Structure 1
C-alpha cells in the first residue's frame, strides 16, 4: 500500500511539473509587445503614447522655463543694438550739421559726399574735352573746315551753354523766392493769381542760402529739359552761320554734355567760374591758367578750351588750353 502511494505521489509530482511548464510557456507566449527578453533580462518600454523622438525633452515645463529665462537676455540684446544704431545715427546727423556749418561762407571746403561737387564737375569737364570734343572736332573737320574755325566753333558752344545755364539758375532763384512769398502772403490756393502787396526785396542771408541749397538738391530734374531747350534754340543759328546738316551725332552729344556740366557749375554756391576765353581777353591773359595746345610761346593765337575756377576769385579747378603763335 505504501509502495502504491509512493508511485502515485511521484506520478502526481510529474504531472504537476509538466503542468507548470506548460503554464509558463503559455504565459511567455502572451507577453505584451512592450516587454523584451534580452540576455535573460526583461526590459519594459513605456507605452506608445509616451514614446518621444530622440532629443525630445520629456519635461515640457522645464523647456518652457528655459525659454522664459532667455527672454531678458534677448531683450537686453535688442536694446543694445537699438542703442548702438541710435548713437551712430546721432553721430551722422551731428557730423552732417558740422560739415554744413563749416562750409558756410567757406566754399574752399568741399562736401565729399556730393557727387556733383566742383572738383568732380571739373574732372567731367576735362573728360568732355578729351572725349566728346575730340569726336565732334573730327566730325566737323571732315566737312572741309579749318582747324582754327572748328575749334572756335566748339568753344563757342560751351561758352553759350554756360551763359544760358547761369541765366536760368539766377532766374530760378528769383522765381522760387517769389512763389514762397506769395504762398506766405495769400495761401497755397490763391498765390498764383495775385501780386505781392509788400513787394519786399529784403531777404535774410540764411533764407537765401537755404533756397539755393534746395535748388541744388533738385537741380537734376532740369537737366534733360535744358538740354532740349538749348539745342533747339541754337541749332538754327549754327546751321545758318556755318552751314551744317540738320543732324550731327557727335556734335549733338557734345552740345548736350556741355549743357549738363555748365548747369551743375551754375547751381553751386557760389557758382563755378568759367574763365572768359576770347581774343578780346588776351590783354589780361594769365598764362598760369592755361597749357599749350600744339605750340608754346608767350603770345596767344586763339583759345581752345576754357579754364575753371572754384568761384570767380577762387583757386583753379582745371587749366584751360590755348594755342600760342
Structure 2
C-alpha cells in the first residue's frame, strides 16, 4: 500500500482513473497542434499574415497561456498553504487538495479565459491581429491552450512546457524598454532632440530600428544546432535552428520528455536580424 505522503509531488505515482494525467495531456496537446492550431494558422494565412508572424504568435499563445496559468495556480495554492496548511501536518489534506484541484480548475476556466483574453487584447499593437482575437477559430485555439496549460499546472508536480530561447512577453517588454532607454540616453548625450513629437507609426518604426541596430549585441552570433532529442523538424531538414514552432513537453521540470517540440531548421549557421521573433505586442 502506497503511503499518502508519497503522492505529494511524486511524478512516479499515476492515477490511471485520471483522464487528465500527464500522458493523456500529451496526447491532447498533439491533437491541438494537428487540429486547432492548424485551423488558426489557416485563418491567419487567409488574412495574409507572413508565415513567421503566424508561427511566432501561435507559439506565444500556448507559452503565454502556460505562464499565465502557472501564476494563477501558484498564487491560489500559496494562499491555501499560508492560511490553512501547516508544513509539518495535514499531509493527507494537502494531497487531497492537490489531487482534487484539477476537477475544480476547469470550473474556473471561463473566468480565467476572460482575464487572459483581456490581457492579450491589451498588449496587442496590431489592429488586424486584435480583430482576429475575436475570431471563433482563433478563440477556440486560445481557449484550448488555456485549458490544457491550466491542467498541466494543476498536476502534482506540474507538467512542464519549455521552448528554447522563448521568453515571457513581460520579460521582452522590459528588455525593449531597456533598449529604448539606452537609445534615448545616447540621443541626450549627443544633444540630439527631435523637432516634433513622433507619431505612433514613427514610434513603432523607431523601435524596429533600435532592435535591428542592437541585434548583434543582444543575440548569439551563431544559430544553435537542432537538439534532435527534443525537437522534430518543421519543414526543412537542415542542421541549424532558426525558428521554434512548438514547445517541448516534460513530465515535470527536469523530467523525461512526454512530447518533442517542433523547430524550423536552416543550413546557414550565422544568425541574422530576421531571426528575431515577431513583436506583435506593445
Settle same-fold status: TM greater than 0.5.
yes
> Residue deviations 1:109-129, cap 9 Å, x none?
421110110011111111110
Partner of 2:189: none
Q: Which residue of 2 aligns with 1:250?
A: 137
Deviation by residue 1:78-110 (Cα, 9 ceiling, x = unmatched): xxxxxxxxxxxxxxxxxxx64866645541342
Equivalent residue in structure 2 for 1:276, among 163, 166, 174: 163
Match of 1:4 in 2: none
Q: Does 1:303 find its partner at 2:188?
A: no
Residue 80 (structure 2) pairs with residue 176 (structure 1): yes
CA separation in 2, counterparts of 1:106 and 1:175?
Answer: 22
Query: Which stretches in structure 1 are left out of the alignment for 5+ residues?
Result: 1-96, 182-200
Choose between structure 1 and 2: higher helix proportion. Answer: 1
Query: Alignment RMSD, CA only?
Result: 2.6
After TM superposition, the structure 1 = structure 2 runs for residues 116-195 of structure 1, keeping only pairs within 5 Å, are 116-180=20-84
TM-score, L = length of structure 1: 0.58
Q: Structure 1 residues 225, 320: closer, same or farther in 2, change over 3 A? A: same
In the TM superposition, residue 205 of structure 1 has moved relative to its aligned partner by 8.3
Deviation of 1:203 after TM superposition, in Å, equals: 4.9
**CA–CA separation in structure 1 for the residues paired with 2:64 and 2:154:** 16
SS of 2:77 mapped into structure 1: helix
5+ long unaligned stretches in structure 2: 167-218, 267-282
Q: Secondary structure at the match of 1:144?
A: coil
**Size of the alignment, in residue pairs?**
209
C-alpha contact 1:308 1:316 (8 A) present in aligned 2: yes
Larger Rg: 1
**CA pair 157-132 structure 1, distance change in 2 beyond 3 A:** same
Residue 310 and residue 242 in structure 1: after superposition, are their counterparts in 2 closer, same or farther (change >3 A)?
A: farther
Distance 1:209 1:302, change over 3 A: same
